[in-house]
């Protein structure tokens, strides 16, 4: 056990260095005492993920709808997506620093960019895969282009769209762990502060993975609610 000696007013502890924390181990006591340190990074992580997926979804969905009608847009947009996908997230965070400065905004810009790829690709694919017969039948019934899109194509593409949303969300949680390179905080900042400390990795890692799984589940629930006809089919 550690003993204490008074030197001036501050206690100087006599250490043998054999404590759980000093050995970078997994220390439940330390975790209980220091859990509050993870609150702000965790909230920031949620913020980064949810906001960038929301913004990315809106933009990507709109782009995919436009590209669905104006086919000539598909190759350039897909090519851009390919290129962006190949840029490592750490690199993108750093490349944006001179342009958008250091902070949350830069983190969001990078995360939105990655989200765009997944959602755009999946929405496009979903719309592509709508059976020709359904489209023809709808046209035959006299639906306008807009009605066709919103009443037939999008609903039939929903599973694909949700798949893209789920992929984008879980991936973004992972990428947001590196957002601290842009000065945007998040759980990655805590991890990086003491990467050899098992307790730290355990808590921050569990929170990050747990967040990904929970968000994934939430989207799955929304999908289940929004596609009642598939529920009927499955029953």
Partner 1 sequence: MSLVLANVLNDFGGAIEFLFKQQPSQLDPNTEVGGISEMLDLTLKHLALSASAVAIGTAVAIPLGLYLGHHRKGEFAAINASNVGRAIPTLVLLTVFIAYIGVGFVPIMLSLALLALPPVLTNTWVAVTQVERDSVDAARGMGMTDTEIIRQVELPLSLPTIFAGIRVAAVNVVATATIAPLGSVDSLGTPIISGNVYGADGRLGAAIAVSVLTLAVSGALAALQRAVTPEGLKLGAGEPQRRRLPNLRRREAATP
Partner 2 sequence: MRSKRSTSERCSADRRSTCAPALRLPLAILSALLLALGLAACGNDDDEGGGGGGSQAASGEQIQKISGAGSKPTITVGSKNFTEQYILGNIYADALSAAGFKVKKSLDLGSEVVAYKALRQGEVDAYPEYTGTALTAFFKVPVQKVPKEKQATFDQVKAETAKEQITALPPTPFENTYRLAMSKELWNKLGKPKTMSDLKGKTEDLKVSGFPECKKRIDCLLGVEQTYGLKFGGFVASEEKYDVIENNSADVIFGFTTDGELTTGKYVTVDDDKTLFPPYNVSLLMRNQTFEEIGPEGQKVIEQVQKPLTEKVMGELNSRVDLDKQEPEKVAKDYLRSEGFIK
- Binding residues for partner 2, rule: CB under 8 A, are 4, 6-13, 15-17, 19, 21-22, 27, 30, 32-39, 42, 129, 159-160, 162-163, 166, 194, 196-197, 199-200, 203, 206-207, 209-211, 213-214, 216-217, 220, 230, 234-235
49 touches partner 1 by CB under 8 A:
no
- HEC-encoded secondary structure of the chain: CCEEEEECCEEEEECCCCCCCCCCCCCHHHHHHHHHHHHHHHHHHHHHHHHHHHHHHHHHHHHHHHHHHCHHHHHHHHHHHHHHHCCCHHHHHHHHHHHHCCCHHHHHHHHHHHHHHHHHHHHHHHHHCCCHHHHHHHHHCCCCHHHHHHHHHHHHHHHHHHHHHHHHHHHHHHHHCCHHHHCCCCHHHHHHHCCCCHHHHHHHHHHHHHHHHHHHHHHHHHHHHHCHHHHHHHC
66 touches partner 1 by CB under 8 A:
no
Q: Which of 127, 141, 130, 134 is CA-nearest to residue 70?
A: 127
162 touches partner 1 by CB under 8 A:
no
For the four alpha carbons of 89, 92, 94 and 96, in that order, the dihedral sign comes to negative
Contacted by 3, from partner 1, partner 2, none: CB < 5 to 8 Å by type: none
Contacted by 120, from partner 1, partner 2, none: CB < 5 to 8 Å by type: none
Q: Taking the mean position of all CA atoms in its chain, how far away is CA 224?
A: 20
Q: Which is nearer to partner 2, 68 or 166 (CB)?
A: 166
Stretch that binds partner 1, among 29-37, 131-139, 146-154, 175-183 (CB under 8 A): 175-183
- Binders of partner 1 among 91-130, rule CB under 8 A? 91-92, 94-95, 97-99, 114, 117-118, 121-122, 125, 129
217 touches partner 1 by CB under 8 A:
no
User: Could you tell me how many residues of this chain bind partner 1 (CB under 8 A)?
Assistant: 51
Contacted by 57, from partner 2, partner 1, none: CB < 5 to 8 Å by type: none
Residues making contact with partner 1 (CB under 8 A): 24, 82-83, 85-92, 94-95, 97-99, 114, 117-118, 121-122, 125, 129, 163-164, 167, 170-171, 173-178, 181, 188, 191-192, 195-198, 200-201, 204-205, 208-209, 212-213, 216
């Amino acid at each position: 056990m550690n003993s204490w000696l008074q030197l001036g007013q501050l206690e100087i502890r006599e250490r043998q260095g054999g404590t759980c924390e000093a050995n970078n181990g997994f220390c439940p006591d330390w975790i209980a005492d220091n859990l509050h340190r993870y609150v702000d990074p965790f909230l920031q992580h949620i913020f980064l993920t949810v906001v960038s997926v929301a913004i990315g979804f809106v933009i990507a969905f709109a782009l995919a709808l436009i590209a669905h009608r104006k086919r000539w847009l598909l190759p350039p947009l897909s090519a851009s997506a390919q290129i962006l996908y190949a840029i490592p997230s750490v690199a993108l965070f750093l490349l944006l620093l001179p342009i958008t400065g250091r902070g949350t905004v830069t983190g969001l810009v990078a995360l939105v960019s990655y989200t765009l790829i997944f959602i755009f690709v999946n929405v496009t694919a979903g719309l592509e895969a709508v059976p020709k017969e359904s489209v023809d039948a709808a046209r035959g019934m006299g639906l306008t282009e807009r009605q066709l899109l919103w009443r037939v194509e999008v609903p039939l593409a929903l599973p694909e769209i949700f798949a893209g949303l789920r992929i984008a969300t879980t991936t973004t949680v992972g990428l947001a762990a590196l957002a601290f390179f842009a000065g945007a905080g998040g759980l990655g900042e805590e991890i990086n502060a003491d990467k050899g400390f098992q307790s730290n990795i355990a808590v921050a890692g569990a929170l990050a993975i747990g967040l990904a799984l929970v968000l994934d589940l939430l989207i799955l629930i929304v999908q289940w609610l929004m596609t009642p006809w598939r529920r009927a089919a499955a029953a």
